[in-house]
């Protein structure tokens, strides 16, 4: 079955390719979580792929929507001029203003008027597949009453006729149970946006809680996210610990993997912490690199908490570093977390092979051991983090992300 990608990392995978034609997907947010950026990201992806987007705005002015989209670093301007993107203004009517959008409704409190305008809008030209974003179901319930939800059945018929796709925003204000049930029933897929408090950190997740189409869909997997400005929705992992023995190359790894990194170091050895931010493959991750020398172990124990994954860096030419890494994994309370072992300096003389490392550290077979090497050995300097080969660093991140999410 054809699918229309949203470019929201992981979401397309969970939905088996993306949004489907002739269906209605609801972005179901809990109060306090913004769902609009998800819609903006999806609609930009569709426009860039040559499709058309109709944005039904009932909760704010079209101009506000355009400004917000710009805030995330995108622009609909050229698509609006080209007729691929347009608003169906159901907001101006609410505040008694004249609408200057291409389609609008006079009485925004009458849902059947929106239906009429929607039909008209879908009949108009516009290239490619049509995505209809509705912002939002909650404002519709507030202004047109609960019974307006029944009209959605009509909208779905229109979508089927036109093979269009609906992406509707909904915020779960304290509605009655029957209202929530109606929204659930009418939707073909539901993506919930939730905040979960873990210890003291509030983390936001999206979860595909309902999906009616077949294929390789995955329900119930929580994906942590954060909304970056600019950049949009990223899978968010607030803490990955990078640990290992003295001189194994932890700082080199943090600096090579990160888009920006800072270190607290003295004469080339980390004394407190390397902190790096990684933007890669739709993931936004903060790396915490620990000191390696034993005298700093209290800091290691301090920093170990609440990590979601661990990268253990070992010096392949130094057997002692393997035992030390094993010890540090224990001290940082990383047992049970997803771990990837980085075999640094693997092209140097006397380097141990991954198998030998596995055996010496008595690691279970499912922990990946990935070889990394410096980009250019002649440029490696004492007391400076070395630049590691990008492909190998990415292989490490891929392996770890796969184990975490």
Q: Which is nearer to another protein, 163 or 333 (CB)?
A: 333
Locate 395 and state its tokens.
């292989």
CB of 262 to another protein, least distance (A): 6
In angstroms, the CA 217 to CA 190 distance is 12
Question: What is the binding site for another protein (CB under 8 A)?
Answer: 31-32, 195, 197, 199-202, 238-239, 260, 262, 264, 272-273, 275, 277, 286, 288, 298-299, 302-306
CB of 46 to another protein, least distance (A): 31
CB of 195 to another protein, least distance (A): 8
125 backbone dihedrals φ, ψ, rounded to 5°:
-70, -175
Q: Which residues of 332-343 are buried (b: 16+ CB within 10 A; e: fewer)?
A: bbbeebbbbbbb
Q: Which is nearer to another protein, 200 or 267 (CB)?
A: 200
CB of 303 to another protein, least distance (A): 6
Q: Which is nearer to another protein, 303 or 343 (CB)?
A: 303
Q: Which is nearer to another protein, 286 or 356 (CB)?
A: 286
CB of 8 to another protein, least distance (A): 22
Locate 307 and state its tokens.
């990590």
Dihedral, CA atoms, 270, 271, 272, 273, nearest 10 degrees? Answer: 0
- DSSP letters spanning 345-400: TTTSTTPPPHHHHHHHTT--TTS-EEE--BS-GGG--TTSPPPBPHHHHHHHHHHH
| Residue 153 exposure: Cα atoms within 13 Å on the Cβ side | 5
CB of 304 to another protein, least distance (A): 7
Q: Which is nearer to another protein, 119 or 226 (CB)?
A: 226
The structure tokens 């909304």 sit at 227
Q: Which is nearer to another protein, 147 or 330 (CB)?
A: 330
């Amino acid at each position: 079955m054809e699918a229309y990608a949203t470019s929201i990392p992981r979401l397309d995978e969970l939905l088996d390719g993306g949004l489907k034609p002739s269906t209605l997907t609801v972005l179901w947010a809990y109060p306090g979580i913004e769902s609009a950026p998800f819609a903006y990201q999806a609609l930009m992806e569709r426009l860039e792929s040559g499709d058309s987007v109709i944005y039904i705005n009932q909760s704010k002015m079209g101009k506000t929507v355009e400004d917000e989209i710009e805030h995330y670093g995108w622009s609909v301007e050229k698509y609006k001029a080209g007729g691929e993107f347009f608003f169906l203004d159901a907001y101006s009517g609410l505040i008694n203003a004249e609408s200057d959008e291409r389609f609008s409704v006079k009485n925004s409190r009458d849902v059947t008027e929106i239906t009429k305008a929607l039909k008209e809008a879908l009949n108009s030209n516009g290239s490619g597949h049509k995505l209809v974003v509705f912002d939002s179901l909650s404002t519709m319930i507030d202004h047109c009453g609960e019974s307006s939800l029944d009209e959605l059945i009509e909208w779905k018929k229109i979508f089927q006729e036109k093979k269009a796709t609906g992406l509707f925003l909904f915020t779960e204000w304290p509605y009655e149970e029957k209202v929530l049930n109606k929204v659930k029933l009418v939707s073909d897929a539901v993506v919930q946006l939730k905040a979960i408090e873990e210890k003291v950190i509030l983390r936001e997740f999206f979860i595909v809680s309902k999906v009616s189409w077949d294929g390789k869909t995955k329900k119930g997997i929580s994906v942590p996210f954060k909304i970056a400005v600019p950049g949009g929705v990223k899978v968010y992992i607030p803490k990955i610990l990078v640990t290992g023995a003295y001189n194994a190359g932890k700082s080199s790894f943090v600096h090579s993997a990160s888009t920006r990194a800072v270190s607290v170091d003295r004469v080339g050895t980390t004394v407190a912490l390397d902190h790096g931010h990684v933007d890669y493959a739709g993931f936004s991750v903060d790396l915490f690199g620990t000191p390696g020398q034993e005298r700093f172990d209290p800091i290691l124990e301090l920093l170990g908490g609440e990590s979601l994954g661990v990268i253990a860096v070992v010096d392949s030419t130094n057997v002692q570093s393997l035992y030390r890494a094993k010890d540090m994994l224990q001290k940082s309370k990383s047992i049970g977390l997803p771990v990837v072992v980085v075999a640094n300096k693997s092209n140097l003389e006397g380097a141990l092979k991954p198998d030998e490392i596995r055996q010496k550290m008595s690691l279970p077979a499912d922990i990946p051991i990935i070889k990394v090497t410096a980009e250019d050995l002649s440029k490696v300097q004492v007391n400076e983090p070395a630049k590691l080969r990008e492909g190998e660093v990415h292989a490490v991140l891929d392996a770890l992300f796969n184990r975490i999410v």
